[in-house]
Amino acid sequence: MPFFLLVPIFWVGFSMNELFFWLHWVGFVRLCFLYQVGRRGHFAKDFLWPCWGVFLAVYSVCFSWLLIRGLGTYVLAILLFSPFFPLFFLLHHLFTSKVRSPLVKVAAAFGIFFVLESLMSRIPAMESIGLDFFFQPPAGVLCVLKFIHFEVWSSWVFATCFAISCWLHEKGIRSLVLPGALVGGMVVLVMFAHVQNESLGNGTGRTVKVALVQHNLPYLEAWRVGHLEEIKQQYRELALKASLGGPDLVIFPLYNLPGDVYRDPSFLLELAGIAKCPIIAASHVPIKAGDELFDQGILSLALLYAPEGKMRDIYQAVETPPFYSHYAKKAKKHRVIRGPFGKLGVLLCYEDMVPRLARDAARNGAKVLVALSNPGLFAQMAIIYYELLQDQIRAAENNLPLLRLSPNGYSAWIDRTGKIVQKAKLNTEEILQVELSDIGPGEIGGEDPKNPLLEEIERPMPQS
């Protein structure tokens, strides 16, 4: 049956190679063609149910990484996402069953797809994953996303696939005009975006240096608990190595550090002294002081330490991974932190996969996005590659450079067009010395006195 040929096409499209993403588009052309053929017969039997079967199989591979979270979570995700395309085609069939014009059909494909995706993105657990797997743009056209929303991009691609299928179905010269116009529009937009990006970089801002420290320490908690002093010594040595490049800022990844580095910041303040510049490090700390086992839940924090021996700013995560909300205390809104060269937009853990948070950071004046994650559980899975692609999209959407840092990789510097300039290898210890150009002046001081996390840390520590 021709439907089953779509499954391996989409599966290969999930490979960790951007060239294979084009197979998703080929798959959608074929799917739209089968849809038009299926409309002539028994629609549900000849198209709708086989279509759902395809995406049950596709998402079973797409979400295989969720098996780490348990079989129930994995099955739930598949059942939530797999009806999306059958629902799209059902709505399209209902609205256009008496329409013959290919133009109207393609316009309806764009509109229905855009509305469904926009509605889906309002559900927190669905905001960041699902359709993105299919419509991640190749690196060469990422710069387009600073001009159009991602939902517009994916809807445009899908409508183009639909238009091509109309031409294949009717095999007429006139029906070739519409897909030609859509593809031509894409080409013009990509060329315009590249011309605009070439004109960037001629500003008068300063060049700043940032050291990204990928330490490659083991992820498992059992190892960390038994090697606390080894972790500290490794951090000290890496801070010293990072300082040799004369950085303006050193960034360590999200990693559960020994002790409560929020309420007792002495260790990381020591690192800032070793590096002779501010450092940012992220960790989970207990909600309640002294709760070493996190029985009361966690705070996910990125902390900025200054070399003069003071914590200067703190970022608390606004979003947590799906199904973890009960365990982590979230901040009410996203806030930027004040770095040594201006405002920094921190995206902590899962947050780089949530588009609105990066947009909030950009609106609040961030000069650089900083994505700190710890995907240690998924070290051997394609999800790490997808996270890197998500960071490319966040940079391109907001026209801001992004610094991604993970304990075991991928760590990377991504420029404002979404291009990866430097990237560390997976599962290696590496320090990326990054030079960001055209960054305006900024001060490390002036932290927000209304930040309750800063207010708490500045209170005298209770005596034990």
Across residues 49-76, what is the average pLDDT? Answer: 87
Across residues 177-205, what is the average pLDDT? Answer: 81
Look at residues 137, 138, 168, 147 and name the one whose alpha carbon lies nearest to residue 33.
168
pLDDT-derived band at 204 (thresholds 50, 70, 90) equals: low
Q: Exposed, middle or buried by CB within 10 Å (0-12, 13-18, 19+), for 371?
A: buried
pLDDT-derived band at 462 (thresholds 50, 70, 90) equals: very low
Is residue 298 within a helix (H) or strand (E), and if so which, with residue range? Answer: strand 298-306
Three-class secondary structure of residue 297 per DSSP: coil
pLDDT at residue 454, as a whole number: 65
Across residues 9-16, what is the average pLDDT? Answer: 81
What residue spans define the domains of the chain? 2-198, 206-457
18-25: long-range contacts, CB 8 A cutoff, minimum separation 24: 18/136, 18/138, 18/139, 18/389, 19/138, 21/136, 21/137, 21/138, 22/138, 24/134, 24/135, 25/157, 25/160, 25/161
pLDDT-derived band at 375 (thresholds 50, 70, 90) equals: confident
Contact assessment for residue 382 and residue 65, using Cβ atoms and an 8 Å cutoff:
yes
Beta strand residue intervals within 307-354, DSSP E = 310-316, 328-329, 337-339, 342-348
First and final CA of the chain: distance in angstroms? 72
Across residues 263-289, what is the average pLDDT? Answer: 86
Residue with tokens 């010293």, as numbered in its chain: 240
Query: Using CA atoms, how far apart are residues 117 and 155, in angstroms rounded to an integer?
Result: 8
pLDDT in tens, 219-244: 877 787 788 888 889 999 999 999 99
pLDDT at residue 291, as a whole number: 67
Quote the pTM value. Answer: 0.86
Asked whether residue 461 carries a pLDDT value surpassing 50, the answer given is no
pLDDT at residue 263, as a whole number: 83
Task: Give the strand pairing for 328-329 and 368-372.
Answer: unpaired
Dihedrals phi, psi of 123, to nearest 5 degrees: -90, 115
Look at residues 82, 84, 66 and name the one whose alpha carbon lies nearest to residue 74.
66
What's the CATH number for 206-457?
3.60.110.10
What residues have CB less than 8 Å from 226, skipping those under 6 apart?
none
pLDDT at residue 293, as a whole number: 58
Look at residues 388, 463, 374 and name the one whose alpha carbon lies nearest to residue 423.
388
Look at residues 422, 417, 426, 348 and name the one whose alpha carbon lies nearest to residue 382.
426
Largest CA distance in the chain: 83
Contact assessment for residue 283 and residue 232, using Cβ atoms and an 8 Å cutoff:
no
- The larger pLDDT score, comparing residue 452 to residue 256, is at 256
Query: Using CA atoms, how far apart are residues 188 and 199, in angstroms rounded to an integer?
Result: 17
The pLDDT mean for the chain works out to 84
Asked whether residue 448 carries a pLDDT value surpassing 90, the answer given is no
